[in-house]
Amino acid sequence: MMIMVGAGNDPLRTRRFTRELHGVLAGDEQLRGQGVTAELYTASPDREPGSKGTVENIVLLATAAATARPAFDALVTALQAWLQRPDRRATITMTHGDWSVTLAGEPTEQQLRAIREFRPDPNADDPDSNGARQQ
């Protein structure tokens, strides 16, 4: 799962927020207990020869364990708590495969519905369920 932090058009604030969120997620005992780890990934986009400055995309990558239901719920809770601080004006976009949702501050009902629809089936760990989602 990929987690991207956005802070408008301010790349320095985006970088700072991403590193701050990484520290919060990496230090979260509940996430570690669920087997979720967060790693920073920095990618420099191709730039034209002679261009000045550094432009980097910094994202967090969460392990595959983050898609298991208990771990996913713990991850969403940690992300929501981080976003709700009054001094923070940022967004978080979570992407896994073709699914993506963006959270900003207090999640809207539409965002919560998208998260509930994506949240893994609680029976996915049950070998008798064959990993099928119930509709």
Query: Would you give the DSSP letter of residue 128?
Result: G
Answer whether residue 39 shows pLDDT above 60: yes
Report the pLDDT value the prediction gives residue 133, as an integer from 0 to 100: 35
Contacts 24+ apart (CB under 8 A), 76-80: 76/115, 78/24, 78/25, 78/28, 78/30, 78/31, 79/3, 79/21, 79/103, 80/107
- CA–CA distance from 78 to each of 9, 25, 46, 88 (Å)? 24, 7, 33, 15
Q: What is the mean pLDDT of residues 2-15?
A: 86
The overall pTM is greater than 0.75: no
* 55, pLDDT greater than 70: no
| Pick from 88, 76, 85, 90: nearest CA to 30 | 76
